Amino acid sequence: MKLLILILVVIINCVVAQEFGFANVWVTTVDGTVLFEEQEPAMFKWLDSSSQEDNPSDIDVVISVNNDTAYQRVYGYGGALTQSSAYLFTQLLEQNKEYGTEILNKLFSQDQGIGITMIRVPASACDFSLSNYTYDDIPNDTALTNLSIAIDQQYTIPILNLILEINPAIKLIYSPWSAPSWMKSSDSLDYGELLPSMYDVYTDFFVKFLELYYYHENIEIYAITLQNEPLFQPMTYPGMYVNSSVESQLVKLLGPKLEKSGLNTQIFIYDHNWNAPEYPMDILQDPDAYEYVGASAFHCYAGDVTNQSLVHDQFPDKEIHMTECSSGAWSPEFGENLIWQSQNLYIGSIENWSSSVLLWNFALDLEDGPTNHGCLDCRGFITVNNTNYQSVQFNVEYYGTAHYSKFLSDPSYRVQSTQYFPNPNAEYLQTCISSIAFQNQGDNTNHLVVLNACNTTVSLQMNVGLQNKYLNYNLPMGLTTFYWAI
Ligand SMILES: *[C@@H]1O[C@H](CO)[C@@H](O)[C@H](O)[C@H]1NC(C)=O
Ligand SMILES: *[C@@H]1O[C@H](CO)[C@@H](O)[C@H](O)[C@H]1NC(C)=O
Ligand SMILES: *[C@@H]1O[C@H](CO)[C@@H](O)[C@H](O)[C@H]1NC(C)=O
Ligand SMILES: *[C@@H]1O[C@H](CO)[C@@H](O)[C@H](O)[C@H]1NC(C)=O
Ligand SMILES: *[C@@H]1O[C@H](CO)[C@@H](O)[C@H](O)[C@H]1NC(C)=O
Ligand SMILES: *[C@@H]1O[C@H](CO)[C@@H](O)[C@H](O)[C@H]1NC(C)=O
Ligand SMILES: *[C@@H]1O[C@H](CO)[C@@H](O)[C@H](O)[C@H]1NC(C)=O
Ligand SMILES: *[C@@H]1O[C@H](CO)[C@@H](O)[C@H](O)[C@H]1NC(C)=O
Ligand SMILES: *[C@@H]1O[C@H](CO)[C@@H](O)[C@H](O)[C@H]1NC(C)=O
């Protein structure tokens, strides 16, 4: 009899567990002692409104995930495969193919790594390149006879092919830092403007390099930005000033050429800081340009993420992407980065309508390079030990991104998550708890990421909207991801 009861209890428990399920839990703490480590799963319980447990007084925050309220599609999280990063991956692979492959998997594989799905590639030399180049540096080659992507065949394309083998669905965004010097007022890759006589030639240049990628390398480029940081003219490395009226003209020239070519590549505009949202709005206000714009792209180095919403609110049918944000020696502290990047990028940018969040270099070396006279103290997702190219260090950008990117399954959408603080004594926690939720239709899962930037452990009740189930968890200071099947 005892045995029978025991068996019954076990069976009932199993049924209950099956019915309400559980969430997998992953944690990174601000002190860096727990680094994206999977925890014991958290069991869901039945949310009975008559029960005391519905709102126990020891709960600091109740977060409700409502998957019936969906916002924008989210394509993913990522960074940039600069020529410097591609070079470092190549060195790792040359020293030890197995180890180099493992590192690529840790970044780009969803099973074996953190599942990065978006990559930005500089379509010319930038501040992280081994030389100064564009795809056509033959003076006065207005017929673009000598345009070539051979420079990318050295490091970038072989590494991209390995990455696309890991995940063929990864989306690529290409951004030039400068047009060829012979198209510019400065006759240099640094500073200067595009000569008006070159607008037509330069838009042909885009179509031609996209075709070379597609037809010769079998690599489809998802989107281009017309110019990296068009309002900034660097004096010591490639860059080009392009105001919004010139960019608008380029959109109107390039759009029809892309359409005619049959390529599916989208045009993203702006690609610069949060502080001048009027730049993309100027372009979107022109109906002839509007129809060819895929999205507005933002960087994090000036202004505030909330300005992304100004552009979204006025042009809700055009996507927003966050295409660059670097960290570096100016932000050395693990926990401060984990918090700032979540508040402003991983959560803040998505809350303000972004469809992707990209940081900067995937890989830099112990000297923060190879650099090309631009940023001398930037930090990548990983730091490669360039003494012998046999080890790497994973940085906070890797662990932070992991919490959001690993669980996406295309198509993923941001869904509503609301916060409520039942205990008046814990109301101050409102300023230090943030969260973002995703519905991953690709594999019918959801994930919620909660940032606890408070100075204390916080007790959470997570409610899953329509399903009347909840779970409890004590959130350590740092990031906690809950991942469950619908
Ligand atoms: C939300 O999740 C439930 C199952 O929990 C599912 O039936 C429903 O389709 C989801 N809602 C949306 C909008 O996908
Ligand atoms: C690229 O150009 C910059 C400035 O224009 C120069 O300082 C740098 O040495 C050049 N880089 C290489 C690798 O030649
Ligand atoms: C390129 O064209 C400009 C203007 O026609 C001319 O002054 C210059 O000499 C040419 N440069 C070369 C290298 O042919
Ligand atoms: C440019 O391309 C033309 C035609 O293929 C070729 O004859 C010429 O040698 C090339 N010029 C340079 C400088 O590579
Ligand atoms: C934008 O740049 C072009 C080319 O230099 C210039 O002709 C035009 O006046 C500028 N427009 C504005 C609004 O500054
Ligand atoms: C937001 O955008 C406006 C222009 O529309 C600009 O004046 C303001 O400085 C920006 N604010 C921040 C904080 O980025
Ligand atoms: C934009 O982000 C800020 C900071 O994360 C957040 O407070 C605000 O609610 C967001 N705006 C919208 C429209 O969601
Ligand atoms: C880099 O590798 C070398 C050689 O193995 C080692 O001596 C050195 O301590 C490493 N540096 C760092 C920062 O890990
Ligand atoms: C945490 O911060 C709150 C609000 O600033 C403060 O009242 C509380 O004393 C702090 N607690 C600890 C343990 O530092």
Query: Helix or strand or coil: residue 116?
Result: coil
| 3-state secondary structure string across the chain | CHHHHHHHHHHHHHHHHHHHCEEEEEEEECCCCCCCEECCCEECEECCCCCHHHCCCCCCEEEEEEEEEEEEEECEEEEECCHHHHHHHHHHHHHCHHHHHHHHHHHHCCCCCCCCCEEEEECCCCCCCCCCCCCCCCCCCCCCCCCCCHHHHHCHHHHHHHHHHHCCCCEEEEECCCCCHHHECCCCCECCEECHHHHHHHHHHHHHHHHHHHHHHCCCCCEEECCCCCCCCCCCCECCECCHHHHHHHHHHHHHHHHHHCCCCEEEEEEEECCCCHHHHHHHCCHHHHCCEEEEEEECCCCCCCHHHHHHHHCCCCEEEEEECCEECCCCCHHHHHHHHHHHHHCHHHHCCEEEEEEEECEEECCCCCCCCCCCCEECCEEECCCCCCCEEECHHHHHHHHHHCCCCCCEEEEEEEEECCCHHHHHHHHCEEEEEEEECCCCEEEEEEEECCCCCEEEEEEEHHHCEEEEEEECCEEEEEEEEC
138 plus 262 within the same structural domain: yes
Residue with the nearest Cα to atom 2 of ligand 9?
A: 455
**Rounded average pLDDT over 211-239:** 98
CB of 204 shorter than 6 A to ligand 7:
no
**For residue 78, what are the CA distances in angstroms to 114, 256, 321, 405, 477?**
10, 30, 11, 8, 24
* Residues 57 and 34: beta-carbon distance below 8 Å: no
Question: What pLDDT was estimated at residue 9?
Answer: 42
289 plus 168 within the same structural domain: yes
**Rounded average pLDDT over 415-440:** 94
Residue 120 has pLDDT above 80, yes or no: yes
Name the residue of 20, 68, 416 to mutate for ligand 1: max ligand atoms within 8 A of Cβ. Answer: 68
CATH number for the domain spanning 380: value is 3.20.20.80
**Rounded average pLDDT over 128-135:** 98
68 plus 82 within the same structural domain: no
316 plus 433 within the same structural domain: no
Question: What pLDDT was estimated at residue 7?
Answer: 47
CB of 340 shorter than 6 A to ligand 7:
no
Residue with the nearest Cα to atom 8 of ligand 6?
A: 275
Cα gap 57→75, rounded to integer Å: 39
- Residues 28-76: tens digit of each pLDDT: 999 999 999 999 999 999 877 555 455 667 899 999 999 889 999 999 9
Question: What pLDDT was estimated at residue 53?
Answer: 53
pLDDT-based confidence at residue 15 (cuts at 50, 70, 90): very low
Tell me the residue range of the domain where 129 lies. Answer: 76-405
Which residue ranges have their beta carbon within 6 Å of ligand 8?
366, 385, 387-388
pLDDT-based confidence at residue 18 (cuts at 50, 70, 90): very low
The CA-to-CA distance between both ends of the chain, in Å, stands at 37
In our burial notation (b when 16+ CB lie closer than 10 A, e otherwise), range 55-76 reads eeeebbbbbbbbbeeebeebbb
Query: Helix or strand or coil: residue 312?
Result: helix
CA of 396 from ligand 7 middle (Å) equals 23
Cα gap 89→340, rounded to integer Å: 28
Residue with the nearest Cα to atom 6 of ligand 5?
A: 246
61 plus 116 within the same structural domain: no
Question: What pLDDT was estimated at residue 425?
Answer: 86
For the chain, the average pLDDT equals 94
- Residues 190-223: tens digit of each pLDDT: 999 999 999 999 999 999 999 999 999 999 999 9
Tally of structural domains, the chain: 2
* Residue that finishes a domain, picked among 383, 405, 427: 405
CB of 38 shorter than 6 A to ligand 6:
no
| Structure tokens given for 224 | 């281009």
93 plus 123 within the same structural domain: yes
- Residues 2-14: tens digit of each pLDDT: 544 444 444 444 4
Percent of the chain topping pLDDT 90: 91
Question: What pLDDT was estimated at residue 5?
Answer: 47
250 plus 368 within the same structural domain: yes
- Residues 301-358: tens digit of each pLDDT: 999 999 999 999 999 999 999 999 999 999 999 999 999 999 999 999 999 999 999 9
**Rounded average pLDDT over 145-149:** 98
**Rounded average pLDDT over 228-246:** 98
447 plus 381 within the same structural domain: no
CB of 428 shorter than 6 A to ligand 9:
yes
Residue with the nearest Cα to atom 8 of ligand 4?
A: 146
Question: What pLDDT was estimated at residue 20?
Answer: 79
Residue with the nearest Cα to atom 7 of ligand 9?
A: 428
320 plus 354 within the same structural domain: yes
* Residue that finishes a domain, picked among 355, 379, 405: 405
Nearest atom, ligand 4, residue 145 CA? 2
Residue with the nearest Cα to atom 12 of ligand 2?
A: 131
Q: Global pTM? A: 0.94
CB of 138 shorter than 6 A to ligand 1:
no
Q: Return all residues near 7 (Cβ < 8 A) that are at least 6 apart.
A: none
130 plus 268 within the same structural domain: yes
CB of 309 shorter than 6 A to ligand 7:
yes
* Residue that finishes a domain, picked among 405, 424, 439: 405
Question: What pLDDT was estimated at residue 19?
Answer: 60
CATH number for the domain spanning 429: value is 2.60.40.1180
Residue with the nearest Cα to atom 6 of ligand 6?
A: 275
Give residue 171's Cα distance to chain centre: 11
CA of 437 from ligand 5 middle (Å) equals 43
372 plus 307 within the same structural domain: yes
Question: What pLDDT was estimated at residue 57?
Answer: 73
Cα gap 200→180, rounded to integer Å: 14
Residue with the nearest Cα to atom 13 of ligand 1?
A: 68
Name the residue of 304, 351, 416 to mutate for ligand 7: max ligand atoms within 8 A of Cβ. Answer: 351
- Residues 454-478: tens digit of each pLDDT: 999 999 999 998 778 999 999 999 9
Ligand nearest to the CA of 236: 2
Q: What angle do CA 75, 306, 315 make, to 5 degrees?
A: 65
398 plus 435 within the same structural domain: no
* Residues 358 and 78: beta-carbon distance below 8 Å: yes
Name the residue of 427, 428, 429 to mutate for ligand 9: max ligand atoms within 8 A of Cβ. Answer: 428
